[in-house]
Amino acid sequence: MMDIKRIISKIERDYIISNLKKEERIDGRGLWEYREFQIKSDIIASAEGSADVSLGDTKIITGLKYEVGEPFPDLPDEGVCTVMAELLPLASPLFERGPPDEQSIELARVVDRGIRHADCVQTKNLCIKEREAVYILFVDMYVINYSGNLIDAGGVSALTTLISAHIPEGVWNSDKGETDWTGKYITGETLVKELPFVVTYGKIDDIIFLDPSLPEELVCDGKISISVTEEKITSIQKSGAATFSIDEIKTLGKKSLEIGKKLRKDLNLLQYLSKID
Amino acid sequence: MPLIIKDEYPKKLFREDGKRLDGRSEKELRPIKMEVGVIQNADGSAYLEWGNNKIYAAVYGPREVHPHHLAKPDRGVLRVFYRMATFSVFDRKRPAPGRREKEISMIVADCIEPVLFLELYPGTSFEVFIEVLDADGGTRCASTTVAALALADAGIPMKSLVSAVAVGKIDGKKVVDLSGIEDKAGDADLPIAITWYNEEVSLLQFDGDMDLSEMNDFLSDAKEALESIHKTQLNVLKSKYLKLQEETKTNKEKESKKGDE
C-alpha cells in the first residue's frame, strides 16, 4: 500500500525537486517517459463498448451506453457524444463522496474537448433521421485507482472505448415515426476517424516533465495538457498555478506531436476494433 | 457483448434439454473468480467476477469519521456504499445514486457488521466502497461476498467471512444463483447470507411466493451453494498469504546471500 497524504512533507518535496533538477524521477523514469500503459477492451457485457486502461498504477474503466434522442436544433443531422468522469472514493483516500467536483469535471471536459475538436467521433454517422432521431453516446469514465495523470489515462480509455464500440443499427420507420432495429451494428470503423491523444506535463520551478505520477502531481506548481492528432494540436488546458513561457509552450507543442505519434504507433489502438458484424 | 436490442423476457427459462438458458443445471452456480489486493491505494480491496457480474470493493479504515457527528464514542461505525456504474445495466443508469443503491448499501452493512469487532475501534469508521461495473442478477449477494473479502484483505479482525447467494424459483422449479433474466422473469427470489462464525443467516429477503416445504428446500439448497462460495473466498485469501510467505522467503535468501558476500 502506498502512503498517500494530501500534504507532502517539505523533505519529500525537496527530494522530488532535487531529483528532477538532475533530470531524474523518483520512480526511475526519464523526464520525457510515460509509465507503462496496459489496455483491455470490451470487458463489460452490458456496455456497447468498454475499456480497462492502466497507466502505471492509475486505473480507469470506461463504458459506453447510447440512447436515441432528438438532435440539437442547430445540428439537426448529427449525433451527440458526451464524456463523464467519476472519481470514485474507492480509488483514493483523496477522493470524497458526493456530486462531481472540479477535478472530475476538468478530467471529463479535457478528454471531451480532445475528442470533440479532432474529427474523432463521426457524429454525422450517428444520425438516424434528420431533426427526429440521433444517437446520444455516453462515454463514462470510472477511476478505480488514482496514482496521478488521470487525463492521459482517461483519454486513452475513452478512445479505446469508442474504438471497441458496437451500437445497434437503427433505421427510421416513417410510417410509425420511430426507429426500427436492423439487427446489425455500427462499429468503431464507422464511428471513429482521427485518434486524438492527450499528453500531460507537470511543471515545478522551471522543470517540465511528462506524465506526472501522484507524488509529482501533489508537489508540482501546475500542469499543461495538450491534445494532438496526427498533424495538429486540437486542445490545450493549463491547470494549476504554474506559468509557462512562450518558448516552453512552443517546445511542448512540438514535443506533444512527437509523443502523440509514438503513442499512436506503440498502443496501436485500432487493434481493439469490435469484431462483431 | 450485448446481443439483445430490446429488453424482452423469454417465455421459457429452461431449454429443451432441461438446462437453464445459460446451460446450467438447477443447482449449479455461475463461474466465480475472485482476487484480492487489486486497488493499491485502499487498505483492503477485492474484485469479483460472478457470471457476468463484475464488482470492485475497497475498504478504508479505521479512519476518522466524516461527517463527524456520525462517530460513536464507544464503537466504530461500518459504512457501506454500494454503487452501480452507468453502463452496468441495459438502460444507462443515472450517475447519482438512487433509492435502490441506498437500500442495498444498508442491507450489506447490516449483513457484515456482526462479524466485525467494532467495539475495539471507538470513534472511527470503516468505509466499504462497492462499485458494480457490470450487473447480471444477484449483485447484492455478490457485493456482500466481495465486501467481506475486501475487509479480510485489509487485515481487519473478523469473526469469520460472510458469503451470500440468491436462490429462487423459475418456471415452477427451484434453482440456485439466479441470473439477471431469471431474476426478472422468474417467480421467486430469495437472497441469503451466512456469517460463518455462528452459521446463522445475516441477510434475508424474499419476493415471490413459496410454501413451507419450499422454504425448507430453499434454505438447504442455499447452504450447500454458500459452502462452495466460502471455500473459494478462503482459498483466495490463503493464496495471497502463501504468495507473501514465498516473497519474504526469497527476499531473506537474497539478503543472506548478500551477507555472505
Each residue's pLDDT tens digit, B175-195: 999 999 999 888 999 999 999
Cell triple for residue B213? 416445504
The nearest alpha carbon in chain B to A43 belongs to: B1
pTM for this one?
0.93
Task: Find the CB nearest B41 among A93, A142, A276.
Answer: A93
Instruction: Report pLDDT for A13.
Output: 85
Residue A6 lies in a domain: no
Cell triple for residue B162? 460472510
Taking the C-alpha atoms of residue A182 and residue A168, their distance in angstroms, rounded to an integer, is: 8
What range defines the domain where residue A233 resides? 17-272
Instruction: Report pLDDT for B261.
Output: 63
Taking the C-alpha atoms of residue B197 and residue B191, their distance in angstroms, rounded to an integer, is: 19
Distance, in angstroms, between B44 CA and closest chain A CA?
Answer: 9
Residue A9 lies in a domain: no
Q: Which residue has the cell 438502460?
A: B91
- Residue B63 DSSP code: E
Cell triple for residue A253? 507543442
Q: Which residue has the cell 432521431?
A: A133
The nearest alpha carbon in chain B to A1 belongs to: B40
Taking the C-alpha atoms of residue A206 and residue A211, their distance in angstroms, rounded to an integer, is: 16
Taking the C-alpha atoms of residue A232 and residue B248, their distance in angstroms, rounded to an integer, is: 51
Beta strand spans in chain B (E): 32-36, 44-50, 53-64, 77-84, 124-134, 162-170, 173-176, 188-195, 200-204
The nearest alpha carbon in chain A to B90 belongs to: A46
Cell triple for residue B161? 467471512
CATH number at residue A174: 3.30.230.70
pLDDT in tens, B76-127: 999 999 999 999 999 999 999 999 999 999 999 999 999 999 999 999 999 9
Handedness of CA A178, A182, A185, A186 (dihedral sign): negative
Taking the C-alpha atoms of residue B257 and residue B177, their distance in angstroms, rounded to an integer, is: 52
Distance, in angstroms, between B37 CA and closest chain A CA?
Answer: 9
Contact at CB, A44 and B42, closer than 8 angstroms: no
Cell triple for residue B199? 452459521
Complex ipTM? 0.91
Radius of gyration, CA atoms only, chain A: 20
Q: Which of A131, A42, A27 is nearest to A79 (CA)?
A: A131
Distance, in angstroms, between B240 CA and closest chain A CA?
Answer: 14
Total structural domains in chain A? 1
Cell triple for residue A123? 457524429
**Band of residue B2 on the pLDDT scale cut at 50, 70, 90:** very low
Contact at CB, B95 and A140, closer than 8 angstroms: yes
One-letter amino acid for residue B232 of the chain: T
Burial of A125 (0-12, 13-18, 19+ CB in 10 A): middle
Residue A4 lies in a domain: no
3-state SS, residue A86:
strand
Residue A54 lies in a domain: yes
Spatial neighbors of A10 by CB under 8 A, at least 6 apart, are none
**Band of residue B4 on the pLDDT scale cut at 50, 70, 90:** very low
One-letter amino acid for residue B95 of the chain: P
Element (H, E) at B200: strand B200-204
Ranges of residues in chain A with a pLDDT under 50 are: 1-2
Cell triple for residue A266? 506503440
3-state SS, residue A26:
coil
One-letter amino acid for residue A209 of the chain: F
In chain B, the domains with their CATH numbers are 32-243 (3.30.230.70)
Residue A2 lies in a domain: no
Residue A12 lies in a domain: no
Distance, in angstroms, between B55 CA and closest chain A CA?
Answer: 11
Taking the C-alpha atoms of residue A233 and residue A226, their distance in angstroms, rounded to an integer, is: 7
Instruction: Report pLDDT for B138.
Output: 94
Q: Which residues of B touch A181 (CB under 8 A)?
A: 5-6
Check CB contact of A63 with chain B, cutoff 8 Å. yes
Q: Which of A199, A249, A252, A250 is nearest to A227 (CA)?
A: A199
Cα separations in angstroms, A66 against A80, A154, B128, B224:
10, 19, 30, 41
Residue A10 lies in a domain: no
Burial of A263 (0-12, 13-18, 19+ CB in 10 A): buried
Instruction: Report pLDDT for B1.
Output: 38
Percent of chain B beyond pLDDT 90? Answer: 83
> What is the Cα A65 distance to its own chain's centre?
17
The angle formed by the CA atoms of residues A263, A231 and A198, to the nearest 5 degrees, is 45
Burial of B255 (0-12, 13-18, 19+ CB in 10 A): exposed
- Going by their DSSP bridges, the two strands A133-145 and A127-129 should be labelled as antiparallel
Instruction: Report pLDDT for B253.
Output: 87
Asked whether the beta carbons of A101 and A92 are under 8 A apart, the reply is: no
The nearest alpha carbon in chain A to B6 belongs to: A181
Instruction: Report pLDDT for A9.
Output: 78
Instruction: Report pLDDT for B3.
Output: 42
Q: Which residue has the cell 441469503?
A: B192
Q: Reply yes or no on whether the pLDDT at B38 is more than 50.
A: yes
Q: Which residues of B touch A67 (CB under 8 A)?
A: 92
3-state SS, residue A258:
helix
